[in-house]
Amino acid sequence: MMKKSSNLILIGMPGSGKSTVGIILAKMMTRPYIDTDILIQLAEKRSLQEIVDHQGHMVLRDIEERVLLDINCQNHIIATGGSAAYSDKAMNHLKRGGVVIFLDADLVTLKSRISNYETRGLAKRPDQSFADLFQERYELYTKYADITAPSKGETQEEVCADIIEKLEYSGLLF
């Protein structure tokens, strides 16, 4: 059973709502909020896209893994980058400290939410389409998720309410 001091870790594709849902969930539950994409940018003093442009997507994944492994907190809401699930080591570290929640949005919904796909700083191969990236990552998200919350047509507040309900129902939150 999750103790109240455990973290809630949000995973999912870019555009699934991790950052927005994370902020709202943190307010609803009166918990501190961490966005690991922001931690990466602060640590590296440049944007995710600059990292990808100058050093490649694999360097971004390595930096992200390092940042995730450095997280040592309790009772936080943590929004991860979309590529966090590529690191087994980092995901297991996060799972030890809390509950992993997959924000599940379909490809059509994600594409409608993302207008800056090419400049967003995605950790993907240069020749990889968004659809290919979606397919590749979906398995990883379901592999690590303790809970899955649909994030398609729902408002962010509805997604948060669904997450809290699922946590309570599963006995993971009290």
User: pTM of the full predicted structure?
Assistant: 0.91
In the prediction, which pLDDT does 100 show? 97
pLDDT attached to residue 122: 61
* Predicted confidence (pLDDT) per residue in 104-140, tens digit: 999 888 888 776 555 544 665 667 788 888 899 999 9
Domain covering 7-169, topology: Rossmann fold (3.40.50)
- In the predicted model, residues of the chain with pLDDT beneath 50 are 1-4, 120-121
Q: How distant, in Å, are the alpha carbons of 3, 59, 76, 78, 151 from that of 97?
A: 10, 25, 10, 11, 24
Q: What are phi and psi of 39, to 5 degrees?
A: -60, -40
Instruction: Judge contact between 2 and 167, C-beta under 8 A.
Output: yes
